[in-house]
Every structure is written in C-alpha cells, then in structure tokens.
Amino acid sequence: MAHERLTLHPSCCRTPVGMKWTLKLVAEVVPGKAMEHEVATIERIEEFSPATVGLTISEGKAILAGLQKQMVTAQVQHHCASIQSCPGCGRAFRTKGYYHSTLRSVYGNVDMRIRRLRGCSCTDSQPSSFSAVFTSRNPTTPELKYLTAKLACCRSVTVVDFLV
C-alpha cells in the first residue's frame, strides 16, 4: 500500500485573515431583566503564529478591566438607588448631589459616580449629608492592598539579597 504524500500548498493552507471575536456580558442586575454589554472586541488580521494564537496579556487585561468597569458601575448604581428612606422615620432621602471617586482594584481603576444624600432631621445624630457608599474618597479593594503589600515585601527582599 502506497503512502499518500501530504503536500502543503502555502496559498490554500493559510488561516484566513480578518477573524473577529466580540465578548458580550449579559448582566442581570434586576432579576429577570437581562442587559447585554459589549466588553471587548478582539481581531486577528495577522497570519496564524505562536504570537497571534489566543489572547495576549494586554487583551486579557482589557477584558478584565472592561468586565470590572461594568460590574462596579452596576453595583454602585444599584446600591445608590436602593437607599431610599430614613430607617428612623421612613421619610424619603433627598439627593444632595453626586461626586466622582475612583475605585482602585487588581483589574484596574474604575471611575464611580456616587450619590450623596441629605441627612434626615428626625435625629440629631445624622450628619447634614452623607455618601451612599463606603466613605473612602478613592477606595482600594482588599485584594489590591494585599498584592501591593506582598509585592513591596518581595521587592525589598530582592533588593536586600542583591546588596548582600
């Protein structure tokens, strides 16, 4: 039995160029109401090679940053809207305004638009106004704090080892 000879024809065996992937996030912030958001688009116009197969580091980071932005924005909006009335007397809180804050996280910084509420007059203990979310002006997630501290520790060890 004769072996078939496999012949590669470069012109017909090349991967077609111009491939595109669109990554969409389906968010269900309100149960039963799904909303679709485009997170990232990845294109390959180069020929297939080890450098173009799969995700690059920068594409992976961009996807996670886009996902983080969508999640944080939705969570902040949902939380701010959920604070509606004073637990002491039941009167509706009035909005004093909005301010911008930046959440620093492992997956990137996210700008947040945060609602500020007028305090209720039913008690003397409430401030004249307060933020609808955690109070730090530019909060950092615990994971980023942990990784930053760990990296700082590793850096100092490396420097010390190098000097000895």
**Minimum CB distance to Zn ion smaller for 67 or for 86:** 86
> Interface residues for Zn ion in 2-31 (CB under 5 A)?
none
3 state SS of 164: coil
Range in contact with Zn ion (rule: CB under 5 A) among 47-55, 58-66, 119-127, 138-146: 119-127
**Minimum CB distance to Zn ion smaller for 88 or for 97:** 88
Q: Does 89 bind Zn ion (CB under 5 A)?
A: yes
Burial readout 64-100 (b: 16 or more C-beta within 10 A, e: otherwise): bbbbbbbbbbbebeeebeeeeebeeeeeebeeeeeee
Q: How many residues bind Zn ion (CB under 5 A)?
A: 5
Q: Of the candidates 25, 42, 74, 86, which one interacts with Zn ion according to CB under 5 A? A: 86
**Minimum CB distance to Zn ion smaller for 56 or for 85:** 85
Q: Of the candidates 29, 53, 55, 122, which one interacts with Zn ion according to CB under 5 A? A: 122
Say if residues 117 and 83 touch (Cβ distance below 8 Å).
yes
Q: Where are the beta strands (DSSP E) in the chain?
A: 19-30, 33-44, 95-105, 108-118, 129-131
Q: Of the candidates 106, 120, 132, 144, which one interacts with Zn ion according to CB under 5 A? A: 120
Q: Does 35 bind Zn ion (CB under 5 A)?
A: no
Cα–Cα distances in Å, from 39 out to 30, 42, 56, 90, 120?
19, 10, 16, 40, 40
Name the residues that contact Zn ion, by CB under 5 A.
Answer: 86, 88-89, 120, 122
